[in-house]
Amino acid sequence: MPDHKLQKLSHTLQQTYDRHDLHATGKHLTVLKITLARAGLLFPSLDHDKEDLVTARSVLEVGAFYSLAIKDVKAFERYEAMLSVYYRDLSPVLPPSPLRRPILGLTLLSHLAASRISQFHTMLEQLSTSTNEQDKDILNDVYIRWPVDLERSLMEGSYTKAWRAKSRAPRKEYEVLAEGLMGTIRNDIASCHEKAYQALPLAEASRLLFFDNESEAMKFGQQRGWNFSPTSKIFTFPSQSRNGSTSTTTDAASGGHEDGESAGDLLERRGLVRKALEYATELEAIV
Amino acid sequence: MVSTEAKTDDVVMKDAAADSAAKNPAVVPFALDKGMLLRSLFQRLGLTAKAFQYRNTRQFDAHSSSYRFAGAATDCKGIAESDNAEEAYYSETKNQLEKLVGLLPQTPKTSEEGESIDKTTSNATSMEVDEASTTGGKVAQTKEKRPTWAGRAGAEPLPEADVYVRLLVIVGLMDNKLVEEAYSYAKATAAYIQSLNRRTMDHIAAKVYFYFARCAELLKRDEELRPILLAAQSTAFLRHDEDLQATLINCLLRNYFNSHLYEQADKLVSKVTWPESAGNPQSARYLFYLGRIRAIQLNYSSSHECLLNAVRRAPAAHVAPGFYQTVHKFFIVVELLMGDIPERALFRQPILRKALVPYFQIVQAVRVGDLEAFQTALNNHASRFHADGTYSLILRLRHNVIKTALRMISLAYSRISLKDICLKLHLDSEEDTEYIVAKAIRDGVIDAEVDHENGWMKSTEVGDLYGTDEPRKRFEARIDYCNQLHNESVKVSTVRRVCRWPYVDANFASLCQAMRYPLNGPKPDLEDSELVRERQLDIEQALQEMDDEDMF
């Protein structure tokens, strides 16, 4: 027996969301969530009415999109968790939802943005090996493909590709999550540059870091502690940790008998002695 | 129940029942040797079988109406006969099996009882083990009556014998493609085992559950099976039934993998502790699943370790070629993902050679850093990789190919323009090349720097490696590995567990040979660690002093 009240409420919710009236949508959602909880639909089972389940699913889907529209990523993850039950356990009885793939793609992206790479890959593995009929070409689906491609170009280091992908986002909700991701990308690039370059002109730096103007790039550079000479307009990167390990070890090898010994040398020697002793005891145990 | 009635009217039997009640059949010596148990079990089975043959030939006519309620019994007889035909190729055990088959007419009755027990225990609240064991005792008693047909009052059969026959029936049913029947029968048997709670049955119980899970898998009833297995797993844990635990964990993992629920599998692994006493085959399976989970989570080093151990613990390659091949497929991919290249010899092994051809092509592409060859190999064998479940892992290899290629370039050229790199690697744009090179430098893949103005990459000169402590560290790592190996093998040989180490390379193998420990020879008093530590401290102090003297 379908719940008419629930359906009516969900209908109005859909309408307000379609009108992009975010404030009203939020209000409706709160009411609906209480209704769902009362009907036990937040923890759905096969005993519930089929139509009610479909309604509840669409309410949650609207909720997920709404939470991204108001930039609440945490809320989106909560909605996604509730939806996963509908998508996975109830999939044999319910008609497939057209919004399932966008939601899955967004989840992938949210994992990526929060740099939960292992979850990202677990989910991807689950999707790509799925034998489910409706998931047949899911990896070629635009909504899923977008975050997957993004991840691949990030791993490779093709940051331009990743940056450009932003403008091709398949839904506007993707942009909200991508925004956070771009900050991560920028930091990533900066850390690469610190290692790879000795010096970089300001204009080039701002281009490589995808800044619109040079003053932003300068601010960013100062935040990361780069040296900037105003006359030549060139960033020089502090080379603190470059080939640090090799230099200290060569010192240890050559300058062992000098008076001014560093703590590292002492440690080195202790380590050697300890190792030798370990071998001695081991040998004793064997012989 | 009719049949039980029919039997109890026999005089000899009543005596036997009284006799056995005094002996309390539910108690079996705890430390009973497994081999002995099985032997005695077989003996008893032989006896009971004889008894039944005797009964069938001589007394069947007399009691036929009361003993057999036709339908179920004859059904089972039919199955028994087909069983017999199917398993005839077990020529050695054929005789024994025929005897066992003679036992089968009793099975409908016992399964009925198993179900009735199932009902009583499920009605009862969770922890009423007492009640369950008394019903179990009752069952044992009713079974008690059967062997007396042999005319020997002292030979009471064990429930183990009963379950063992049931196990054979399940396997027989499965061999005859009667999976549906095998499933329901295994389910009843599992419930029966749960109700008995006997430690001596652990090994057989593990087997029953294994076939139960296998039936469910064949029937695609994974979801139905999961709660049953989970419940049995927690019970097995409470009862310290390590055999069953190990089997059930593996069954559950397999179940999750079949349904692609990797997250749940990971959660299961994090919640359970793997029983140490589990046998090598079960451990190998567990390590294989664990390795796969870790590989999906990008934890390659731990995955590598798991898969390597899985190979080591697996039965010999020619015994279980399927497992050996499958593990190696994952092993190779994970090794590539770690940035290592698998040894060439691996692909020459006769068992692996054919199965690993697609992987060999991938390895070659990664080794030389040829993106194009990689792509063609991937496209050519895509369906194969999909079937193996390695496809998405191999997709991740793409940037490894790029990294290797970059490393080759940076070794070969002291200075090269970014444009040339872009052309060599078949990358899409020069801009991206700059980022990729920068990233490789940051990740420590290559030792170089980028000159942005001139648009080239300049490799930094490689210093003298022997001037650093790198060789020492490598050497230390190897010695540590040897030591660990030695200690473990001493431990293992003391428990007489056979372990193979096919992956130890020649040097290590000869070293181990040299260090081989006499099995029962005098052992160093490792227990005397207190003394050892003291001595070590002494030596350390002495050395320190010597060192100081040296310095000044």
Closest residue in A to B455 (Cα) is A197
Joined tokens for residue B308: 């390597």
Q: What is the pLDDT of residue B11?
A: 35
Query: What is the CATH topology of the domain spanning A98-196?
Result: 1.25.40
Q: What is the pLDDT of residue B289?
A: 93
Q: Could you identify the residue written with the tokens 């997920």?
A: A64
Domains A1-97 and A98-196 share a fold: yes
Distance CA B209, CA B225 (A): 11
Cβ distance of A277 and B398 shorter than 8 Å = no
Q: How far apart are the first and last CA of chain B?
A: 96
Joined tokens for residue A164: 């450009």
Q: Who wins on pLDDT, B250 or A28?
A: B250
Entry field: residues in chain B: 552
Q: Could you identify the residue written with the tokens 């040989």?
A: B493
Does the pLDDT value for residue B425 go beyond 50?
Answer: yes
Does the pLDDT value for residue B427 go beyond 60?
Answer: yes
Same domain assignment for residues B9 and B23: yes
The shortest CB-CB distance from A117 to any of B298, B440, B448 is to: B298
User: What confidence tens digit (pLDDT) does each residue in B177-226 have?
Assistant: 888 888 888 888 888 888 888 888 888 888 899 999 999 888 888 888 88
Cβ distance of A157 and B438 shorter than 8 Å = yes
Same domain assignment for residues B412 and B390: no
Distance CA A120, CA B374 (A): 24
Same domain assignment for residues B61 and B98: yes
Joined tokens for residue B180: 């549906």
Q: What is the pLDDT of residue A264?
A: 63
Cβ distance of A158 and B435 shorter than 8 Å = yes
Cβ distance of A128 and B429 shorter than 8 Å = no
Identify from B268, B439, B459 which residue to disrupt to test chain A contact, counting A C-beta atoms within 10 A and taking the largest count. Answer: B439
- Percent of chain A residues topping a pLDDT of 70: 85
Cβ distance of A191 and B440 shorter than 8 Å = no
Q: Has the ipTM of the complex gone over 0.90?
A: no
The shortest CB-CB distance from B452 to any of A123, A204, A246 is to: A204
Distance CA A188, CA B259 (A): 36
B495 pLDDT band, cuts 50/70/90, is low
Which chain A residues are closer than 8 Å to B266 by Cβ?
122
Q: Partners of B457 in the beta sheet? A: B416, B450
B270 part of a folded domain: no
Q: Could you identify the residue written with the tokens 């942005």?
A: B452
Joined tokens for residue A268: 């080195």
- Domain boundary among the residues B412, B441, B462 is at B462
Closest CA of chain B from A82, distance in Å: 16
Does the pLDDT value for residue B173 go beyond 80?
Answer: yes
- Domain boundary among the residues B219, B238, B270 is at B219
Cβ distance of B452 and A159 shorter than 8 Å = no
Does residue A152 sit at the B interface (CB-CB below 8 Å)? Answer: yes
- Domain boundary among the residues B219, B241, B274 is at B219
Q: What is the pLDDT of residue B102?
A: 53
CB of A44 closer than 8 Å to CB of A53? yes
Alpha-carbon Rg of chain A, whole angstroms?
28
Does the pLDDT value for residue A125 go beyond 60?
Answer: yes
Same domain assignment for residues B37 and B117: yes
Neighbours of B506 (CB within 10 A): 7
Per-residue buried b or exposed e for A16-48, using 16+ beta carbons within 10 Å of the residue's own CB: bbeeeeeeebeebbeebbebbeebebeebeeeb
User: What confidence tens digit (pLDDT) does each residue in B510-533 have?
Assistant: 444 445 444 444 444 555 566 767
B344 part of a folded domain: yes
Closest residue in A to B389 (Cα) is A129
Joined tokens for residue B310: 């899985």
Q: What is the mean pLDDT of residues B251-258?
A: 90
Which chain A residues are closer than 8 Å to B526 by Cβ?
285
Joined tokens for residue B155: 């030979």
Closest residue in A to B264 (Cα) is A122
**Starting at the edge strand that comes first in sequence, how are the strands of the sheet with A199-201 ordered?**
A199-201, A234-236, A227-229
Identify from A160, A184, A224, A267 which residue to disrupt to test chain B contact, counting B C-beta atoms within 10 A and taking the largest count. Answer: A160
Same domain assignment for residues B37 and B76: yes
Contacts of range B508-512, beta carbons closer than 8 Å, 24 or more positions apart:
B508/B478, B508/B481, B508/B482, B511/B482, B512/B482, B512/B485, B512/B486
Report helix, strand or coil for B415.
strand
Q: What is the pLDDT of residue B138?
A: 38
Distance CA B107, CA B88 (A): 21
Which string of DSSP letters, residue by residue, matches B288-352? HHHHHHHHHTT-HHHHHHHHHHHHHHSPPTTTSHHHHHHHHHHHHHHHHHTT----GGGGGSHHH
Distance CA B92, CA B88 (A): 9
User: What confidence tens digit (pLDDT) does each residue in A197-253 have?
Assistant: 877 888 777 878 888 777 888 888 888 878 777 777 777 777 654 444 444 444 444
Closest residue in A to B263 (Cα) is A122
A157 pLDDT band, cuts 50/70/90, is confident
Does residue A160 sit at the B interface (CB-CB below 8 Å)? Answer: yes
Q: What is the mean pLDDT of residues B330-346?
A: 88
B481 part of a folded domain: no
In chain B, the largest separation of any two C-alpha atoms, in whole Å, equals 107
Cβ distance of A122 and B266 shorter than 8 Å = yes
Identify from A156, A233, A242, A279 which residue to disrupt to test chain B contact, counting B C-beta atoms within 10 A and taking the largest count. Answer: A156
In B128-221, where does DSSP find H-type helix? 129-144, 159-175, 179-196, 202-218
The shortest CB-CB distance from A129 to any of B389, B515, B547 is to: B389
Joined tokens for residue B256: 């999750």
Does residue A282 sit at the B interface (CB-CB below 8 Å)? Answer: yes
Closest residue in B to A277 (Cα) is B536
Task: Give residues 14 to 73 of A whose Cβ lies within 8 Å of B.
Answer: none
Which chain A residues are closer than 8 Å to B547 by Cβ?
269, 273
Distance CA B183, CA B190 (A): 10
Least confident window among A161-165, B101-105, B435-439, B536-540? B101-105
B516 part of a folded domain: no
Same domain assignment for residues B329 and B432: no
Closest CA of chain A from B297, distance in Å: 4
Closest CA of chain A from B298, distance in Å: 6
Joined tokens for residue A145: 């493909």
Q: What is the pLDDT of residue B33?
A: 41
Which chain A residues are closer than 8 Å to B463 by Cβ?
246, 250
B125 part of a folded domain: yes
CB of A138 closer than 8 Å to CB of A127? yes
Q: How far is CA A79 from CA A59, A68, A73, B119, B135, in A?
A: 10, 11, 10, 40, 49
Task: Give residues 235 to 254 of A whose Cβ lies within 8 Å of B.
Answer: 243, 246, 249-250, 252-254
Distance CA B241, CA A173 (A): 52
Cβ distance of A249 and B439 shorter than 8 Å = no
Same domain assignment for residues B319 and B456: no
Average pLDDT score, chain B:
69
Q: What is the pLDDT of residue A144?
A: 83
Same domain assignment for residues B9 and B76: yes
Neighbours of B284 (CB within 10 A): 22
In B356-397, where does DSSP find H-type helix? 357-368, 371-380, 382-388, 391-395
Closest residue in B to A273 (Cα) is B540
Q: Who wins on pLDDT, A255 or A94?
A: A94
B485 pLDDT band, cuts 50/70/90, is confident
Same domain assignment for residues B436 and B404: yes
Which chain A residues are closer than 8 Å to B263 by Cβ?
119, 122-123, 126
B57 pLDDT band, cuts 50/70/90, is very low
Counting one residue from chain A and one from chain B, the pairs whose CB atoms sit within 8 A come to 141
* Assigned CATH for A1-97: 1.25.40.990
Q: How far is CA B372 from CA A20, B403, B426, B427, B530, in A?
A: 48, 14, 8, 11, 61
Does the pLDDT value for residue B473 go beyond 90?
Answer: no
Cβ distance of A161 and B432 shorter than 8 Å = yes
Does residue A134 sit at the B interface (CB-CB below 8 Å)? Answer: no
Distance CA B33, CA B40 (A): 10
Distance CA B167, CA B208 (A): 6
Q: What is the pLDDT of residue B237?
A: 87
B103 pLDDT band, cuts 50/70/90, is low
B75 part of a folded domain: yes
Q: Which of A64, A110, A71, A69 is nearest to A87 (CA)?
A: A64
Q: What is the pLDDT of residue B373?
A: 87
Report helix, strand or coil for B451.
strand
Q: What is the pLDDT of residue A133?
A: 59
A136 pLDDT band, cuts 50/70/90, is low
Cβ distance of B260 and A250 shorter than 8 Å = no
Q: What is the pLDDT of residue B287?
A: 92
Closest CA of chain A from B263, distance in Å: 7
Closest CA of chain A from B128, distance in Å: 30
CB of A139 closer than 8 Å to CB of A145? yes
Same domain assignment for residues B332 and B427: no
User: What confidence tens digit (pLDDT) does each residue in B269-327 have?
Assistant: 998 888 877 888 889 999 999 999 999 888 888 999 999 889 888 888 888 888 999 99
Distance CA B418, CA A134 (A): 44
Angle at A232 between CA A228 and CA A234, to 5 degrees: 40
Closest CA of chain A from B388, distance in Å: 10
Domain range holding B312?
305-396
Angle at A271 between CA A270 and CA A275, to 5 degrees: 115
Q: Who wins on pLDDT, A273 or A140?
A: A273
Q: What is the pLDDT of residue A106?
A: 86
Does the pLDDT value for residue B472 go beyond 80?
Answer: yes
Q: What is the pLDDT of residue A134?
A: 61
Does the pLDDT value for residue B147 go beyond 80?
Answer: no
Domain ranges within chain A, ordered by starting residue: 1-97, 98-196, 198-240
Q: What is the pLDDT of residue B359?
A: 92
Q: Who wins on pLDDT, A86 or A244?
A: A86
CB of B310 closer than 8 Å to CB of B284? yes
Which chain B residues are closer than 8 Å to A259 by Cβ?
none
B107 part of a folded domain: yes
Q: What is the pLDDT of residue B292?
A: 92
Cβ distance of A277 and B539 shorter than 8 Å = yes
Q: What is the pLDDT of residue B196?
A: 81
Q: What is the pLDDT of residue B146?
A: 42
Does the pLDDT value for residue B251 go beyond 90?
Answer: yes
Distance CA B286, CA B305 (A): 13
Closest CA of chain B from A8, distance in Å: 35
User: What confidence tens digit (pLDDT) does each residue in B361-403 have?
Assistant: 999 888 888 888 888 999 999 888 888 888 888 888 887 888 8
Neighbours of B99 (CB within 10 A): 19
Q: Which of A142, A148, A91 is nearest to A125 (CA)?
A: A148
Which string of DSSP letters, residue by residue, matches chain A? ---HHHHHHHHHHHHHHHTT-HHHHHHHHHHHHHHHHHHTTTS--TTS-HHHHHHHHHHHHHHHHHHHHTT-HHHHHHHHHHHHHHHHTTTTTSPPPTTHHHHHHHHHHHHHHTT-HHHHHHHHHHHHT---GGGTTGGGSHHHHHHHHHHHHHHHT-HHHHHHHGGG-SSHHHHHHHHHHHHHHHHHHHHHHHHH-SEEEHHHHHHHTT-SSHHHHHHHHHHTT-EEETTTTEEE---SSTTHHHHHHHHHHH-TTSSS--HHHHHHHHHHHHHHHHHHHHHHHH-
Same domain assignment for residues B184 and B94: yes
Q: Which of B117, B309, B437 is nearest to A192 (CA)?
A: B437
Q: How far is CA A210 from CA A56, A87, A203, A249, B329, in A?
A: 42, 38, 11, 39, 42
The shortest CB-CB distance from B432 to any of A152, A160, A252 is to: A160
Closest residue in A to B460 (Cα) is A243
B348 part of a folded domain: yes
CB of B79 closer than 8 Å to CB of B173? yes
Which pairing describes strands B456-459 and B415-417: parallel, antiparallel, or unpaired?
antiparallel
Count of domains observed in chain B = 4
The shortest CB-CB distance from A281 to any of B452, B517, B536 is to: B536
Same domain assignment for residues B364 and B445: no
Q: What is the pLDDT of residue B211?
A: 92
Distance CA B44, CA B2 (A): 25
